[in-house]
Amino acid sequence: MLKTACIYAFLISALAIGCKKPQAPVNTSERYTHFKVIARDGLNLREHATVDSKRLLTLPFNTTGEILQITKDSQKIQGRSGYWLQTKYNDKSGWVFSGFVLVGKNKEELFPEKAQRSAGAVEEIPKATWSEAGQAISKINFKNHSVILTNISGVPLKDASGYDMYCGAPPRRVVVQSRSDGFHYVYEAPRREDGAYNPELMGVKEVMENVFAVEEFNGRCSCSGVEWTKLFFITAGGVSAVHQEIQPSPAACSMERNSTFRSVKIDAAARKIYVVEREPKCATEPNADGSLQMTGLEEANFVVLTLNADRVLREEFKGNTVKTEYQQIFNELDKSASD
């Protein structure tokens, strides 16, 4: 799972593995301009864009820097796909591997905890004709529907300059096929202005009957994006999606992502999903070492997702506005998540 891989990346430094020739760099001023080190033990700055090149020094955790150049083709180091980035630090010019950094089109993008979170509205997935097979990655079989995560074939992986936009892996789509009437519902991640798919669809998993989750991540080649879980509900009226992350994550305020205090209960019999979220309160200015301090937790946000025969209902509550019938459940969830 990509989240686990990113967490591991935080805990290790980019040590030398393997031996490859330096790649020809390309100018990246229109793509990414800045990076930030997320490897907890620091990241090696190397003389050339190879893992066996001389180590010039180690960039400390949370170090930010300007990206001067980036290699065209992706590599995989310690399970992370990415590129080599040229930068300058303490008057030394060298290369770091992007699998262990955040990257952004400006320095502000390196602070995703300041970004606005999605409201989680319910959206309808339209019916679609679909005949393109592609390569199936994974599949879920429900009673009346099948869900397939498949590669999108025919998509160029490199742009005109030779830049590898997907780290060697094609983008994906989710296809929901009805066995009774043959209708298809196709979900693809939105495309960027340059035509590339962003975010990437990393996986699908069953939550309960006729409900599945799609794991999305907006940066395949590094831990440089925000990841979430989008829930899909199959009803008699079609397929609906809710941009609602349900994966529990610890309450921690960090520069690499806006972690959320979250607790979830899935009641398959009642066809309901209960979610408690609290955003961390963070200091607006970093400490001397670049880290941010968590000063507490914001007011809880309570969400109830209900699957009915023909639609999905999303209810959201603040503070003491929770319905009486949900109060005890949320009291227990809120306590368990804060422990």
CATH of the domain at 18: 2.30.30.40
pLDDT tens for each residue of 122-151? 999 988 877 676 789 999 999 999 999 999
Question: 49 and 76: one domain?
Answer: yes
At 155, the pLDDT band (50, 70, 90 cuts) reads confident
Question: 91 and 158: one domain?
Answer: no
Question: Is it the case that residue 252 has pLDDT exceeding 80?
Answer: no
Supply the mean pLDDT for the chain.
78
Most confident of 112-121, 233-242, 295-304: 233-242
Question: 54 and 165: one domain?
Answer: no
Q: Which pair of tokens denotes residue 110?
A: 């390196």
Question: 237 and 142: one domain?
Answer: yes
- Which range (23-27, 77-81, 278-282) has the least confidence? 23-27
Question: Is it the case that residue 231 has pLDDT exceeding 50?
Answer: yes
Full residue range of the structural domain in which residue 334 is found: 248-339
Q: What is the pLDDT of residue 257?
A: 44
pLDDT tens for each residue of 34-52? 888 877 778 999 999 999 9
Question: Is it the case that residue 6 has pLDDT exceeding 50?
Answer: no
At 101, the pLDDT band (50, 70, 90 cuts) reads confident
Q: What is the pLDDT of residue 22?
A: 43
Question: 138 and 163: one domain?
Answer: yes
62 closest CA partner among 244, 224, 256: 256
Q: What is the mean pLDDT of residues 189-201?
A: 75
Judge whether 117 lies within some domain: no
Judge whether 136 lies within some domain: yes
Question: Is it the case that residue 23 has pLDDT exceeding 80?
Answer: no
Question: Is it the case that residue 33 has pLDDT exceeding 90?
Answer: no
What's the CA dihedral at 279, 285, 291, 295 to 10 degrees? -40
Judge whether 41 lies within some domain: yes
- Which range (46-50, 204-208, 224-228, 297-301) has the least confidence? 224-228
Question: 142 and 241: one domain?
Answer: yes
Amino acid at 145: H
Q: What is the pLDDT of residue 307?
A: 96
Integer Rg of the chain from CA? 22
Question: Is it the case that residue 167 has pLDDT exceeding 80?
Answer: no
Judge whether 115 lies within some domain: no
Q: What is the pLDDT of residue 315?
A: 94
Question: 210 and 316: one domain?
Answer: no
Q: What is the pLDDT of residue 245?
A: 79
Q: What is the pLDDT of residue 170?
A: 81
Which of 45, 78, 110 is the C-terminal boundary of a domain? 110
More confident of the two residues 58 and 2: 58
Distance CA 45, CA 35 (A): 13
Judge whether 116 lies within some domain: no
Q: What is the pLDDT of residue 324?
A: 94
pTM (2 d.p.): 0.70
At 18, the pLDDT band (50, 70, 90 cuts) reads very low
For the sheet with 238-242, list strands across it.
122-125, 238-242, 227-235, 211-217, 200-208
Judge whether 6 lies within some domain: yes
Number of residues that make up the chain:
339
C-alpha distances (whole Å) from 234 to each of 60, 211, 239, 243, 311 are 47, 6, 5, 15, 8
Q: What is the pLDDT of residue 338?
A: 58
Judge whether 270 lies within some domain: yes
Name 16's Cβ contacts closer than 8 Å, sequence gap at least 6. 44, 51, 52, 55
Q: What is the pLDDT of residue 248?
A: 67
DSSP-derived secondary structure for 167-233: TT---EEEEEEETTT--EEEEEPPB-TTS-B-SEEEEEEEEETTEEEEEEES-TTSS-S-EEEEEEE
How many domains is the chain built from? Answer: 3
Judge whether 192 lies within some domain: yes
Question: 161 and 102: one domain?
Answer: no
pLDDT tens for each residue of 103-116? 877 777 676 544 44
Question: Is it the case that residue 330 has pLDDT exceeding 90?
Answer: yes
Question: 135 and 189: one domain?
Answer: yes
At 302, the pLDDT band (50, 70, 90 cuts) reads very high
Which of 84, 110, 136 is the C-terminal boundary of a domain? 110
Question: 214 and 270: one domain?
Answer: no
Question: 179 and 265: one domain?
Answer: no
Which of 60, 75, 110 is the C-terminal boundary of a domain? 110
Question: 186 and 298: one domain?
Answer: no
- Which range (22-26, 195-199, 294-298) has the least confidence? 22-26
